[in-house]
Amino acid sequence: MGVLAQVRHKQGLDKKGSEKIHTSEHPVKKMYTLLLLSFSLLGLREVRSLRCNTCIYSQQSRCMQGEGFCLAKNDEACATIYYYKSNEHLYSTHMCKYRCKEEHGRRGDLMRVTMCCYKNLCNIA
């Protein structure tokens, strides 16, 4: 074995100077690595979950009943539903809403407006 080959061998390099991949790692170390990877992926899922304000009844930007938060599931968004009578705000509700879509509807002098958003705590109570 030449001098260059001996140096590469001692440094754990192959003939091209790239690091050798050691496939004979200890099985416990492999399991530990897989376990850490699994936990980190679970943690990433939680981080990616959309967090929304919840409130059953709010007036003048203050939650009067049922304040909290929810984590949106698949196909959910944060939503605020505003209720008006003769263009005067009566109250609002805040929630995670399945297949949320922005809309408004009228029935006589009553009106309901749904607003959807997709950032954490964007539906301010």
pTM: 0.62
Does 3 reside within a domain?
Answer: no
H helices, E strands: number in the chain:
2, 7
**CB 41 within 8 Å of CB 35:** no
Dist. CA 87–CA 1, nearest whole Å: 90
User: Residue 14 above 80 pLDDT?
Assistant: no
pLDDT at 124: 87
Instruction: Tell me what the pLDDT averaged over the chain comes to.
Output: 81
| Number of domains present in the structure of the chain | 1
Does 102 reside within a domain?
Answer: yes
Token pair of 51 as six digits: 């967090």
Does 83 reside within a domain?
Answer: yes
**In the chain, what percentage of residues exceed pLDDT 90?**
58
**Residue 56: which domain range?**
51-117
Of the listed ranges 4-8, 55-59, 110-114, the least confidently predicted one is 4-8
Does 67 reside within a domain?
Answer: yes
Cite the DSSP H helix spans in the chain. Answer: 3-11, 27-48
| CB burial of residue 116 (10 Å; 0-12, 13-18, 19+) | middle
Helix (H) or strand (E) holding 52: strand 51-59
